[in-house]
Structures are given as C-alpha cells and as structure tokens.
Structure 1
Amino acid sequence: MSTLTKPNHIGRKISRIRELRDMKQEALAQALGTNQQAISILENSETIDEDKLIAIAKALGVTAEAIKNFSEEGVINYFNTFNDSDNNFNSYNTCTFNPLDKLVESFEENKKLYERLLQSEKDKIEYLEKLLKEK
C-alpha cells in the first residue's frame, strides 16, 4: 500500500495551505463559523463542495483554483526562484539610510514630544492654580 498522498485530495491540500499560512484549525474554524472538529473532518475529506471550497479559500486568503492546483513541488519551486542567480533581488539588497541615524532621529522626536507634553501639563497646572486663586 502506498503512503503517498493522492494528488487530488482537496482536504490534505487545504490542511497544507493552512499550515503554510501558520493558521491553526481553530482559527480556520472561527473564520468559517464552525468548530475545530468540523475542520478536521473537512481536511480528511477527499472532495469538498464547490461553495464550501470557495469559502475556505477566502478564509485562507487564496483562490479556490489555488487550492485545487496546490502542490508541494510548486511551493518548493516558487521559493527556490529567490535563490536563482538570474534574480537580482538579493544582489541589490543594500540599505539607503543609516539605521542608527534613524534611531537617533526617533529618540530626538520622542524627546521633543515629551517636552511639549510636559509644557502642556505645566500650562494646565498654572491655569488651574489661577482659577483656584480667583475663588
């Protein structure tokens, strides 16, 4: 008996896509308005109703066609394209700014905001003291 999964087993494809999306059965169940046991049964089903498949695809953030045509080889090939020498994505991956400068800028901005807040509180205290003296 073969241990390989059948290529047209929709439930296993849904399960694998869900796992790749880092989604638990409970999260998918909540998105579909059902419970975890129903998702487990669904993922063990070889075929699924088209309307239900569309709803599942929407919850997973893919198309129904993507579920039908899903294959592990396709996923591996997709991610391997990022390492091809023809793809210049990684060769020009340089920063156009100094991250430390950005960090210092954010500290300076936070400092200015804090000073403005502090001045606002001082003004408020002065105003309240003035109101109390008038009474």
Structure 2
Amino acid sequence: MNRATKPNHIGRKISRIRERKEIKQEALAKALGTDQKAISIIENSETIDEEKLKEVAKALGVSVEAVKNFTEENMISYFNNFYDNSSAVNSFIANPSHCTFNALDKIMEMADENRKLYERLIQSEKEKNEYLEKLLKGK
C-alpha cells in the first residue's frame, strides 16, 4: 500500500497541507528551526509525536485537528472559508476589486505635492541668496 492511499499517514497529510499552502520544505524547516532533510523525514513518517505535530501545525498555520482530519475535500473547504472570512487586508489581496481609490490619482497627488515642495525650496534658496547679497553690499 503506498503512502498516498493510507488514510492516517500523518506525514503525507502534512506534506499535502504544506503543498496546498505553497510552502516549500525549506521554508517550513526554517520556521521550525531545522533543516529540509528533517522535514522530508517527517513527511515520510506514518506517525509523529504530538509535540512535534503541534509545532508543525502552528508553523503551517492550521490546527492539530486540521492535520489529523485532513482530506482534500476538507482542505478545499478550509481554504474557501479562510478567504471568505479573512481580514480586510487578506480580502483585498484575494479580491482586489475592493480598492476604493485610483492608484494613478494617488501618484499624481504625490507628484503635485513634490512639485510644490520643490517650488518652496527654490523660493527659500532665492530669499537666502538675496539676504546674503544684501549683507555683502552693506560692507
């Protein structure tokens, strides 16, 4: 029986969750303070101790129960619920049509502000030069 068909192969479940979340083994290893080889060993293990499972689940951003009860159908449902109920920032990323301003308008406003600041700087320099010329003529 291969590992994909074993219903309680915890390593395979961890692997599938990691893959679905588009996390590389190296990134998960770094989050756990280990190396990629250790993650590979975990993902090939049929069982894992409870403490390690808690650490892995936390690093993946899921509950221990989510790992233990993982199925492809549950995962699709989990991700759908996550994106449906996410914060405003996540919903903006997932659905950019919620943008309430035009980025080009903001860029143009910034350019206009920069131009005004530059004009004030030039005026300030002119006034400083006039003052210095007056001081030199007065001597």
Alpha carbons of structure 1 residues 2 and 48: separation in structure 2 relative to 1, 3 Å: closer
Question: Secondary structure at 1:105's aligned position in 2?
Answer: helix
Number of the residue aligned with 2:46: 46
Q: Following the alignment from structure 2 to structure 1, what is the Cα–Cα distance between the partners of residues 110 and 33? A: 43
Query: Structure 2: any 5+ residue segments left out of the alignment?
Result: 82-94
Name which of structure 1's ranges 26-35 and 64-73 shifts more when overlaid on structure 2: 64-73
Alpha carbons of structure 1 residues 33 and 119: separation in structure 2 relative to 1, 3 Å: same
Number of the residue aligned with 2:16: 16
Q: Following the alignment from structure 1 to structure 2, what is the Cα–Cα distance between the partners of residues 130 and 29? A: 65
Alpha carbons of structure 1 residues 21 and 131: separation in structure 2 relative to 1, 3 Å: farther
Q: Aligned partner of 1:53: which letter?
A: L
Q: 1:110: Cα distance to partner? A: 2.0
Number of the residue aligned with 2:67: 67
Number of the residue aligned with 2:115: 115
Q: Following the alignment from structure 1 to structure 2, what is the Cα–Cα distance between the partners of residues 40 and 3? A: 14
Number of the residue aligned with 1:57: 57
Q: Following the alignment from structure 1 to structure 2, what is the Cα–Cα distance between the partners of residues 58 and 131? A: 66
2:3 paired with 1:7: no
Name which of structure 1's ranges 24-33 and 107-116 shifts more when overlaid on structure 2: 107-116
Query: Hey, which of these two has a bigger chunk of helix by percent?
Result: 2
Alpha carbons of structure 1 residues 40 and 71: separation in structure 2 relative to 1, 3 Å: same
Alpha carbons of structure 1 residues 131 and 34: separation in structure 2 relative to 1, 3 Å: farther
User: Can you list the C-alpha shifts for 1:8-27, whole angstroms capped at 9, x where unaligned?
Assistant: 11100000000011110000
Question: Secondary structure at 1:57's aligned position in 2?
Answer: helix
Q: Following the alignment from structure 2 to structure 1, what is the Cα–Cα distance between the partners of residues 4 and 78? A: 22
Question: Secondary structure at 2:102's aligned position in 1?
Answer: helix
Percentage identity across paired residues of the two chains: 51
